[in-house]
Amino acid sequence: VEHPVIVLATGAVEVPPATDAPAAFSPETRLATEVGIAAADCLAQAVLGGVLAAESIAGIPSYRDVLPGAFGR
């Protein structure tokens, strides 16, 4: 299965509208949902990476300094 963000970005794959969507929904609802899920996953990974890489500054402790045991220290 193609990654939805790549599919939309390149236009290389035509994604047919969902046929099982309720009549009140747009046929593109499933695709928009998949893109939203992918975006949320990317954001979660970016936030986690930032939290784990952060260093203490100006007396504000970083996650690594508050919970050093989580990093084998």
Choice between 46 and 14, residue whose per-residue pLDDT is larger: 46
Helix, strand, coil shares, percent, the chain, to 5: 55, 5, 40
In degrees and rounded to multiples of 5, residue 53 shows phi and psi of -90, -15
Cα dist from 37 to 4, 54, 64, 65, 71, whole Å = 9, 26, 28, 32, 29
Residue-averaged pLDDT of the chain? 81
Q: How many domains does the chain have?
A: 1
pLDDT at 1 over 70: no
The domain of 56 spans: 4-15+25-71
pLDDT at 11 over 70: no
In a domain, 20, yes or no: no
